[in-house]
Structure 1
Amino acid sequence: MELCDVIKIRRSELGLTLAQIAEACGVGSSIVAKWERGEVTNLRRDSINSLADVLQVSPLALLGREELPAKQTASTIIKEVTSMGNYLANRRMELGLTQKEISEMVGVSEATVSRWESGAIANMRRDKIKRYAEVLKVSPTFIMSGKADSKTTSAPTLSQTETYLLEKFRALDSRGQSAVLNTLEHEYQAMHGDGAADPVPNNA
């Protein structure tokens, strides 16, 4: 099966427009139209990976070297993708992280994290799945399947006061954070005795 045929079939099955594919791949709609008409067949590697992601196939299937996945109904796809997206967003908020922080830790753009959370990218690269799972403190299997995982660890629930203090602490520079930690250690020792104080990290 030719590349142009794969694009036509999968775009139809997924109910995607040329503009949606173009946005996910970072190209213009006219370029995607040329791909679909078979006018351009020599795609760059990053374009192949992005196109495979949005069409939810492997790069090999995209190039006609593997069979395409079984056809799914649009409602099933939307349900699965939305479920994954909701979980990713909820998990990030449980951990008190922003999309920007996630993007920096995983090594992708903030826009990519936003697309993951909206369910627009369900077929992430293996290395990104592994790193994303580490950041969210879940297993890679859970991120790929969306099934509950006993190894998933929930972040402790913070009170309103704790959340307020954490936000203020994060807004301080290193000198301010060091001063807060030293004061905290002093108060802790005053309450719990004269034992040796724990060392205060310099890069908190």
Structure 2
Amino acid sequence: MKLGERIKSYRLTKKLTLKDIALHLGVSEATAQRYESGKITTIDYDKIIILSKLFDCSPTELMGWETNRDTSLELANDEKIFLEKFRKLSHDDQMLLFGIMDSFIDRRNSVSLPATGTK
């Protein structure tokens, strides 16, 4: 997949418009479209950084340079939503949430379920 195709794929996944991309990059909408179409193949490093932050990926992933990607780290949609919300919390609130999750796990592990039940 070429850079322009990756930009378009990430943009659509994030439900962004070409205008959104243009505004973040400080370029015209037409220029953003030319990035996607591949008519412009050389994009400044600072713009790659902006795009990678916007798309929540690494610059090397955006550029297509990662060849040994570990797919075991792929997140399900609900995990992505959780992570986005988690990142908005303060550090103290994140630690509190860890404690709550540990309490649920400990309580769940201590409950004796019938053989046909699930944990």
**TM-score, normalised relative to structure 2:** 0.60
C-alpha distance after superposition, 1:151-203 (max 9, x if no partner):
xxxxxxxxxxxxxxxxxxxxxxxxxxxxxxxxxxxxxxxxxxxxxxxxxxxxx
Question: Which residue matches 2:95?
Answer: 149
Question: Which residue matches 1:81?
Answer: 84
- Cα separation, 1, equivalents of 2:75 and 2:42: 26
Paired letter, 1:84: R
How far 1:65 sits from its partner (Å)? Answer: 0.6
Question: Which residue matches 1:41?
Answer: 41
- Cα separation, 1, equivalents of 2:48 and 2:16: 17
Residue 17 of structure 1 pairs with residue 17 of structure 2: yes
Contact kept in structure 1, 2:52 and 2:62, CA below 8 Å: yes
Question: Which residue matches 2:26?
Answer: 26
Question: Which residue matches 1:4?
Answer: 4
- Secondary structure at the counterpart of residue 16 of structure 1: coil
How far 1:28 sits from its partner (Å)? Answer: 2.1
Alignment of 1:30-179 (within 5 A): 30-66=30-66, 67=69, 70=74, 73=77, 77=80, 80-85=83-88, 87=89, 138=91, 148-149=94-95
Contact kept in structure 2, 1:13 and 1:71, CA below 8 Å: no
Contact kept in structure 1, 2:3 and 2:63, CA below 8 Å: yes
- Secondary structure at the counterpart of residue 95 of structure 2: coil
- Secondary structure at the counterpart of residue 149 of structure 1: helix
**TM-score, normalised relative to structure 1:** 0.38
How far 1:14 sits from its partner (Å)? Answer: 1.6
How far 1:26 sits from its partner (Å)? Answer: 2.3
- Between 1 and 2, higher relative CO (CA 8 Å, sep ≥ 6) is seen in 2
- Cα separation, 2, equivalents of 1:54 and 1:16: 10
Paired letter, 1:2: K
Contact kept in structure 1, 2:86 and 2:94, CA below 8 Å: no
Paired letter, 1:81: E
How far 1:82 sits from its partner (Å)? Answer: 4.9
Residues 37 and 30 of structure 1: is their aligned pair in 2 closer, same or farther, counting only changes over 3 Å? same
C-alpha distance after superposition, 1:96-116 (max 9, x if no partner):
xxxxxxxxxxxxxxxxxxxxx
- Cα separation, 2, equivalents of 1:3 and 1:17: 17
- Cα separation, 2, equivalents of 1:3 and 1:78: 26
C-alpha distance after superposition, 1:119-147 (max 9, x if no partner):
xxxxxxxxxxxxxxxxxxx5xxx9xxxx8
Identity of aligned residues (%): 26
Paired letter, 1:44: D
